[in-house]
Amino acid sequence: MAAGPFEVRGGVAFADFSNPQYDVTFRGEKILLARDPGLRLRANVDVRAEGNSSRGSVTGSVRLVDGRISRRLEITPLLSPSPVDEVFFVPPRFEGLVPAPFRAWKLDVSIKNETPFRLVGNLAAGEIVPDLRLTGLVGRPVPLGRIEVKDARAFLPFTTMNIENGFIDFIESNPWMPQLDVRATAQALDYDVQVFAFGPLNERHLILRSDPPLPQEAIILLLTAGLPPGVYSGAGFGEAAVGQGGLLMLRAFVRQFDSQKVDLDSLINRLEISSVPPEYQGGQATVRGRFRLWQGLSLMSERDSFGFDNAGATYRLRFR
């Protein structure tokens, strides 16, 4: 803990010097629990410890206030894992951290929000809602319950995922290993993408689906490189790749700004640059830029296979 007003009351009774009786209450307001460039977390704490050398308990509540995580959720490392095995999460170890007799005392402390716990990038991008209890023993605590992530955004190089609800569960059979149940949606080019992350965090189970349907490998390339399936070569591919690089730089630049009136990131998500294969043998690939105005309605600019530059509006109908 760090800064914050608090008080400690109680004491130790030595009626039996071989078995002292402890009864101590700790109360604090807006106690700083964690702070770094991407995290700020304070809490109102009300905890009581009472017991003796043979048994005891620590009970109470921790109510989080002014919680704020100022980091964007980046999904690309999960979609494109390193060929080298990496350890993303290691459960903590508590052996030897708490002296006797306190390590054998029972633990029952609830953890909830008192004020909203915000998950933000440069735009307000979600809320974290914990409903947890620390149980077990003081020397070997076990978290139980759920953390809900609401209305969050997860960022990819060429689009943004929306997480309406996601759940992180802590269960007694596998302490300290979060169990995921997260569903997200994204719009990438003309594809509606659904993402499902589930199971223990260290196993990273991930399922991708799209409408119209694509293989999972094609969906990953679509989300990470912004390229439609089947357009990975041809005369116009190099120019399209350069255009994608410029679009990526523009996206990174726009995401540095915070506007309460205009969602700049969503506007950039509507812009796409692609290479389209030639319509006839011997023709040239087409480099096309498009900005989606509404569902099916887009502004388009392209250099066609005859070398002419065209601009206009298009409306696309999809039949299922």
Helix (H) and strand (E) counts in the chain: 4, 17
Q: Which residue is associated with the tokens 């003796």? A: 52
| Contact indicator for 312, 264 with CB cutoff of 8 Å | no
Query: Residue 260: is its pLDDT beyond 90?
Result: no
Residue 7 vs residues 36, 47, 93, 303: alpha-carbon distances, Å: 25, 11, 29, 72
Enter the DSSP assignment of 285. P
122 residue type, one letter:
N
Predicted confidence (pLDDT) per residue in 148-176, tens digit: 999 888 877 777 888 888 999 999 988 88
Q: CB-based contacts of 56: which residues, under 8 Å, 6+ apart?
A: 22, 49, 50, 101, 102, 104, 105, 106
Domain ranges of the chain: 6-174, 230-320
Q: 136 vs 73, which has greater pLDDT?
A: 136
Record the tokens describing residue 269, joined without a space.
Answer: 């998500």
Query: 106-113 and 56-70: which strand pairing?
Result: parallel
Q: 284 vs 200, which has greater pLDDT?
A: 200
Q: CB-based contacts of 61: which residues, under 8 Å, 6+ apart?
A: 45, 46, 47, 109, 110, 111, 112
pTM above 0.75, yes or no: no
Distance from chain centroid for Cα 233:
34
52 residue type, one letter:
N
In which band, very low, low, confident or very high, does the pLDDT at 25 lie, cut at 50, 70 and 90? very high
Cα–Cα distance measured from residue 24 to residue 51, given in angstroms and rounded to the nearest whole number: 9
Cα–Cα distance measured from residue 319 to residue 212, given in angstroms and rounded to the nearest whole number: 10
Predicted confidence (pLDDT) per residue in 74-109, tens digit: 666 555 555 545 556 677 888 888 898 899 999 999
| Contact indicator for 206, 229 with CB cutoff of 8 Å | no
Q: CB-based contacts of 270: which residues, under 8 Å, 6+ apart?
A: 291, 292, 293
Cα–Cα distance measured from residue 206 to residue 79, given in angstroms and rounded to the nearest whole number: 8
Cα–Cα distance measured from residue 177 to residue 182, given in angstroms and rounded to the nearest whole number: 15
